[in-house]
């Protein structure tokens, strides 16, 4: 047990009072992608966020053991939300066993969150290659140098692997797309828009996918 006197902050009293303005059903766009685009633009331009496209990706393996990590969103449209990773990483191994995934965009400075649940599928190699070519040269090399999520003996070994690749593929020379690296597209089944409100009576409006391809909107109690 931690001695209360050793804790530098009184965690029980740490809280912020959120704003009075909320989110109503009449303000929502027709689809969650349209609504996400609205909020994302505000987050990117006016939200004061370091990386507005950062999202927490939560997965579970075949036994239900969960894990989470922060990943950057690289594309979104009516077909889903796309991120890229090493296919040998823990998240990719989880998704191979259990494709159900949750994405959380924690836009705390705006007292907003967006929570997506859905199914992840790998992107095609052409799409992966097209995105890989847009990455900085160093990031392309890094995709080769890192066996993501595996144990590495030291930082020196990782740096040595990168240096070897940098010598093999100097700046200006095309780096091949790693066969073990690529994208996942998360096809949304639900998308919740969470707006912080006063007295912890937050607005939570959730789009739920329907069998005909449309969306039902429901309000959740905070």
Question: Which residues form the catalytic set?
Answer: 200
Q: Do residues 81 and 73 touch, judged by C-beta distance below 8 A?
A: yes
Q: Strands, E, within the chain: which ranges?
A: 54-60, 66-72, 75-77, 80-86, 100-107, 112-122, 181-195, 203-209, 215-220
Strand partners, 199: none
Burial bucket for residue 148 (CB in 10 Å: 0-12, 13-18, 19+) = middle
- Three-class SS of residue 84? strand
């Amino acid at each position: 047990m931690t001695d209360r006197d050793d804790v530098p902050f009184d965690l029980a009293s740490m809280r912020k009072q959120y704003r009075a303005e909320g989110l109503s059903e009449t303000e929502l766009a027709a689809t969650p992608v349209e609504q996400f685009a609205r909020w994302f633009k505000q987050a990117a331009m006016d939200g004061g966020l370091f990386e507005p496209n950062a999202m927490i990706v939560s997965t579970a393996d075949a036994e239900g053991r969960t894990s989470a990590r922060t990943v950057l969103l690289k594309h979104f449209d009516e077909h889903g939300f796309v991120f890229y990773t090493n296919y040998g990483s823990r998240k990719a191994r989880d998704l191979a066993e259990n494709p159900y995934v949750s994405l959380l965009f924690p836009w705390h400075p705006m007292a907003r969150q967006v929570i997506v649940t859905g199914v992840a599928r790998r992107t095609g190699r052409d799409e992966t290659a097209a995105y890989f070519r847009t990455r900085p040269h160093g990031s392309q090399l890094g995709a080769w140098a890192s066996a993501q999520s595996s144990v590495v003996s030291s930082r020196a070994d990782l740096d040595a692997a990168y240096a070897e690749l940098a010598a093999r593929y100097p700046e200006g020379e095309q780096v091949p797309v790693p066969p073990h690296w690529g994208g996942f597209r998360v096809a949304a089944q639900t998308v919740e828009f969470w707006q912080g409100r006063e007295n912890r009576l937050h607005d939570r409006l959730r789009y739920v996918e329907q069998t005909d391809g449309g969306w039902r909107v429901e309000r959740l109690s905070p």
